[in-house]
Amino acid sequence: MQEAALKGLEAVLAVARRGSFRAAALDLSMSTTALSHSVARLEASLGVRLFNRTTRSVSLTDAGRDFVQRVAPALAEIRAAMDSARSQRETPSGLLRINASVQAGREIAPLVLEFLRRHPEMQVDLVTEGRLVDIVAEGFDLGIRPADLVPRDMIALSLGKPQRFAVVAAPAWLAAHPRPLTPAELPVQECIRGRLPNGALLRWQFERDGEPVQFDPKGRLTLDEAVLARAAVLDGVGIGFFIEQDVADDIAAGRLIRLLEDWTPPRPGFSLYYPGRRNPSAGFTAFLGMVRERAARPSQPGGHSQERAGPPVAQI
């Protein structure tokens, strides 16, 4: 298959997957103009329009939908054949695409940099976003998310380091309000609400002596970005609920005061996950080897724990 034709097929599938020429171009590391020309050339060679385009939206035509359904499995087989050929190389090379949450991206970044130092012929595309994506459908080799969010059909490796939540408030806020000693004492109207990528509001998770508790904040301010929530708490707007690493420096410097620390025990950390592969590339195998190497270090015990049913969760 000619390289230009293969790129045209990749372009069509990327636009169909993302519903946007701009987003697809970013995924494929090419300009929007080049992507549009590639799709247009393929449409011209087929003699049929694959997409309906307006200034606001892009959607598949009926012919385009049928084309994508037929081409996607075939292209997956082509990718598998190419991966099989690459796996015969002893020297890792090529592109490794990783999808992670922002916090997970920070966790894996040092390992990615070390990987690139060890393997100068490798490239890594690390995409961080809040939403949980289908890494297979969106063309990623690996995903990194909290262990309890890893899809059941994926192979998972623990990154070892446990995570904790932190409830914090500014000294000025605490000077004007009583300090809560239990989740039940939290002033619901003074707690900043967080919105998850799927649109749901975040419930604050607590646990002590094996007793889980969920808390629904009712504050007037709702935010979907931890950086904005941190700024609001620093400004004395109210109480915030964060991943510990996002506010650790503020706590250490005294800019924020930690609350209910005995109600926020360590939780399972991040896991790297991927679908089963018959012929993984040398680069893919090398990266997994580094993850296992890190997880095996005594200071960072590894292993992906089996999912276990927990006790009933109380709500307040």
Give pLDDT, residue 57: 83
The CA distance from 261 to 203, in Å, is 17
Q: Which domains does the chain carry? A: 3-86 (1.10.10.10), 94-161+269-295 (3.40.190.10), 165-263 (3.40.190.290)
User: How far is the CA of 294 from the CAs of 56, 122, 160, 258, 298, in angstroms?
Assistant: 46, 19, 8, 30, 9
**Do 188 and 217 meet the contact criterion of CB atoms below 8 Å apart?**
yes
Spatial distance between the Cα atoms of 6 and 79, rounded to a whole number of angstroms: 10
Q: How far apart are CA 165 and CA 199, in angstroms?
A: 20
What string of pLDDT tens digits covers the 316 residues of the chain?
456 677 888 889 989 988 889 888 888 888 889 888 889 988 998 999 999 988 778 899 999 999 999 888 888 888 777 766 665 566 788 899 999 988 889 889 999 999 999 999 999 999 988 778 889 888 899 999 988 788 888 999 988 777 889 999 999 999 999 999 999 999 999 999 998 877 889 999 999 988 899 999 999 999 988 899 999 999 999 999 998 988 999 999 999 999 999 999 887 788 999 998 767 888 999 999 999 888 776 544 333 433 323 333 333 4
The number of CA neighbours under 13 Å toward the Cβ of 14 is: 23
